[in-house]
Amino acid sequence: AQSVTQLGSHVSVSEGALVLLRCNYSSSVPPYLFWYVQYPNQGLQLLLKYTSAATLVKGINGFEAEFKKSETSFHLTKPSAHMSDAAEYFCAVSDLQGAQKLVFGQGTRLTINP
Amino acid sequence: GAGVSQSPRYKVAKRGQDVALRCDPISGHVSLFWYQQALGQGPEFLTYFQNEAQLDKSGLPSDRFFAERPEGSVSTLKIQRTQQEDSAVYLCASSLEWLAQTGGELFFGEGSRLTVL
């Protein structure tokens, strides 16, 4: 079975500050890991993904995430927060082979303070 | 349309009523997924179609939930005899092919928010 835990349901940072959203996973097979973002009144959209290539993955809008197998983590970072980054962020895991589904974490709401 | 379209966007139902939620996936996408998102939670998998075949319905919470995709394009999620615990946002997502071929990218609709009174 696969699962995802996102530490912190709410994160608040100042504009220009570092953004760090934490995600830890559990998987009995090599995982594929994803970050999706949901802006208000919009559907979820893919931010970035790890599919067993480079462990440091770059996504849209300046976000990146690093896969650390030893820590079973896939934390999302951005060096400098922008007001437009305010959204809900979801980490997800899948094996892409068996069950055709992504297993999502509970989400982290990111607030940016001016 | 260019994206995944869901209707209605908002539905209020009295307990015991039947509801039907529609999903129009991106044209040409063979994989279609339904997820349920309760307030303050992440999306939880309900069911999956490959074209018209429902290959996985392991996430449907009860036999009151039924999904179909008869022609391999538009899908309908039906909930019979709605209960208050069914209140949630129902998300539809589509993918061009099997997840392994697309690298796991799903394209989501904006969701249908169901409130059961």
Q: What pLDDT tens digit does each residue of chain A (114 aa) get?
A: 789 999 999 999 999 999 999 999 998 778 889 999 999 888 899 999 998 778 899 999 999 999 999 999 999 999 999 999 999 999 999 876 666 788 999 999 999 999
- B98/A90 CB distance under 8 A: no
- A44/B106 CB distance under 8 A: yes
Tokens of A31: 């995982």
Give yes or no for a contact between A8 and A22, defined as CB atoms under 8 angstroms apart: yes
Give yes or no for a contact between A89 and B44, defined as CB atoms under 8 angstroms apart: no
HSE, side-chain direction, 13 A CA sphere, residue B22: 6
Nearest-angstrom CA–CA distance, B8 and B29: 21
Q: How many CB pairs under 8 A join A and B?
A: 74
The percent of residues above 90 in pLDDT, for chain B, comes to 86
pLDDT score at B7: 96
Query: Which of B34-38, B47-51, B102-106 bottoms out in mean pLDDT, i.e. has the lowest?
Result: B102-106
Bond from prior residue into B8 cis (ω within 30 degrees of 0): yes
pLDDT score at A71: 93
Spell out the residues 6+ positions from residue A10 whose beta carbon is closer than 8 angstroms to its own: A108, A109, A111
pLDDT score at A95: 74
Query: Which of A14-18, A83-87, B78-82, B104-108 bottoms out in mean pLDDT, i.e. has the lowest?
Result: B104-108
A42 vs B99, B103, B110: nearest CB: B110
pLDDT score at B18: 98
CB contact A40 to B (< 8 Å): no
Give pLDDT tens digits for A28-44: 778 889 999 999 888 89
Tokens 């998102």, located at residue: B37
